[in-house]
Amino acid sequence: MSIYDEVLAANDEYAANFGGKGELALPPARHFAILTCMDARLDPAKYAGLSEGDAHVIRNAGGRASDDAIRSLVISYKLLGTREWFVIHHSNCGMEFFTDEVIRGLLASSLETAELGPDGFRDVGRGPGSAEATYIDWLTIADNAQSVVDDVTRIRNHPLVPGRIAIYGFIYDVATGRLVEVQEATKAGLPI
Ligand SMILES: [Zn+2]
């Protein structure tokens, strides 16, 4: 079965057992949001105990506080009433394995999927690539704990984020499934 068919088959089963979820309210019932990485090993519904309707989950590469993540968080509180936010990065994140310079070089070379070897990513595709990557800040991660502190601090200090919102910083351990708090980040995210 193709992925396309697998997804549609899984959805048939899900919809057949949908129960009363059609009655859920739009605002998250538990009034919180999670910003986390898109990594396939992370399932916020499972690692944080969410059911449909409970919370907002905003995901991008790295779980970074990008302008677009902040756009979602602002909508999350301003229109939909969330009061607490978790920023959750994770161990072994792909964003630690390259820099802006590296991905710009790979994309300038070709648009094929690069290979990851012992020396990092290597482009194996046929060109042409594109220099457009030069204009994107890829928000890569040099130090995992520091990246959580940086993101919580950026959100805390954002002019569109009210001081009453509590922001917590964590690293999810992909080896154990455990959330490890980054104390310095949570401290930076205290309500003011
Ligand atoms: Zn990641």
Q: Helix or strand or coil: residue 89?
A: strand
Confidence (pLDDT) at 170: 98
pLDDT-derived band of residue 164, with 50, 70 and 90 as boundaries?
Answer: very high
Give the DSSP per-residue string, 25-81. -SS-TT-EEEEEE--TT--HHHHTT--TTSEEEEEEGGG---HHHHHHHHHHHHTT-
The span from the CA of 30 to the CA of 71, in Å, is 20
Exposure of 120 in the CB half-sphere (CA atoms within 13 A): 10
Which of 79, 99, 81, 82 shows the shortest CA–CA distance to 35?
82
Which of 157, 145, 24, 28 shows the shortest CA–CA distance to 84?
28
Ligand 1 centroid to residue 37 C-alpha, Å: 5
- Hey, what are 175's tokens? 């080896």
Confidence (pLDDT) at 1: 85
Ligand 1 centroid to residue 78 C-alpha, Å: 27
Write the pLDDT tens digit of every residue in 36-94: 999 999 999 999 999 999 999 999 999 999 999 999 999 999 999 999 999 999 999 99
Ligand 1 centroid to residue 38 C-alpha, Å: 6
Confidence (pLDDT) at 100: 97
Confidence (pLDDT) at 119: 84
Ligand 1 centroid to residue 47 C-alpha, Å: 15
Ligand 1 centroid to residue 174 C-alpha, Å: 10
Confidence (pLDDT) at 15: 98
